[in-house]
Amino acid sequence: MSAFEPVIRVTGTGVAVCGDDIDTDRIIPARFLKCVTFDELGEGLFYDERFAPDGTLKGHPLDRPACAGASVLVTGANFGCGSSREHAPQSLVRAGFRAVVAGSFAEIFFGNATNIGLACVRLAPDDLADLTARVQADPTLPVTVDLEAMRVEAGDRGYAAAMPDSARTALITGTYDPLAELLEGLPQVRATALALGHEVPS
């Protein structure tokens, strides 16, 4: 089992994709789910928001030249609602994002994202509005998501961030992929299965 790099601090530039309830169909349209690996998913990120049907750019924030290389996505509440497709956080990671700062997250998206090491933190509404405005005004502004301090720093401004303890601990200690620990529990898994009345091959 390979060890995973701890995710303690993410520093980079930010890009704001505004709006609440941004669903996973919008993050990665279903046609991009026709794949048997996740490798190419970065190209489908927010595709229909970014490209008109004729392939021309619609002027999405992700396509502002000044936002190229951004690694912190700043967005609204209930980010990632809808489908359970892990392709959504996979496409963010493959497009270079290492952290998402939002008003809140839909539950399945949050689990899928943190399981692959994408840091997802919440900000209070006023702080989120302030960060959004600053990132929009200056796409070169360095943004740091600090999971140890539970803060988001943007230039000379800082905000208190929030995240469930379990996910925070897992990211900081590099144990966000739960498989190794789940496998350690196999003797107890068999015991639970037996107690539930299942036949368990030895």
Partner 1 sequence: MPEPRSLLDKVWDAHAVRTLRSGQTQLFIDTHLVHEVTSPQAFGMLRDLGLKVLMPERTFATVDHIVPTHTRVEPFEDPMAAEMIAHLRRNVAEHGIAFFDVGSGRQGIVHMVGPELGLTQPGTTIACGDSHTSTHGAFGAIAFGIGTTQVRDVLATQTLALSKPKLRRIEVNGTLGPGVYAKDVILHIIRTLGVKGGVGYAYEYAGDVFDRMTMEERMTVCNMSIEGGARFGYVQPDATTVAYLRGRPYAPQGADWDAAVERWLAFRSDPGCRYDDVVEIRAEDVPPTVTWGINPGQAVAIDECVPRPEDVPPGERQAVEEALAHMQLEGGQPIAGTPVDVAFLGSCTNARLSDFVAVAEVLAGRRVHPRVKAIAVPGSEHVKSECERLGIDRVLKAAGFEWRAAGCSMCLAMNPDKLVGDQLCASSSNRNFKGRQGSPTGRTVLMSPVMVAAAAVTGVVTDAREVFGVGREVVA
Please select the residue that binds partner 1; options are 6, 12, 29, 42, rule is CB under 8 A: 29
Q: Which stretch binds partner 1 (CB under 8 A): 7-15, 64-72, 150-158, 185-193?
A: 185-193
Distance in angstroms (rounded) separating the CA atoms of residues 25 and 20: 14
Phi-psi region of 189 (alpha: psi -120 to 50; beta: other; left: phi over 0): alpha
In the complex, least distance from residue 163 CB atom to partner 1, rounded to whole angstroms: 12
Please select the residue that binds partner 1; options are 57, 66, 160, 193, rule is CB under 8 A: 193
**What ranges in the chain are assigned the alpha helix state H?**
24-27, 47-50, 87-94, 107-115, 125-137, 165-172, 179-184, 186-195
Please select the residue that binds partner 1; options are 62, 63, 115, 138, rule is CB under 8 A: 115
Cα-based distances in Å from 89 to 19, 66, 94, 147, 180: 18, 23, 9, 19, 21
Which residues in this chain contact partner 1 in the complex, by CB under 8 A? 1, 18-21, 23, 25-26, 29-31, 33-38, 48, 53, 77-78, 81-87, 89, 104-108, 111-112, 115-116, 164-167, 169-170, 175, 177-179, 181-183, 185-186, 188-189, 191-193, 195-196, 198-201
